[in-house]
Amino acid sequence: MFDIIIWAGASLSLAGLAGLVWCILRVNKARKAGLSDDDLRAAVQAVLPWNLGALFVSVLGLMMVILGISLG
């Protein structure tokens, strides 16, 4: 039972990590595009909710892993 919680948490953490990498690549692409300051700021602000969501998913996954290990 607790193995399922551990593996589900690990997969959530990896999904969150993939989301964070996507955010990094997206902002890096915007930086290399040579945008003006206002356009770059708008691009970063557009990625910010996705970044926070990916971080939240990753933290939830890590909490599930810790919960599964401590209860199992």
CA distance 46 to 33: 16
Q: How confident is the model at residue 9, as a pLDDT?
A: 96
Inter-residue contact 46 to 4 (CB < 8 Å): no
DSSP letter (8 states) at residue 35: -
Q: Mind listing the pLDDT tens digit for each residue in 3-57?
A: 999 999 999 999 999 999 999 999 999 999 988 999 999 999 999 999 999 999 9
Q: Give me the residue spans of the domains in the chain.
A: 2-63
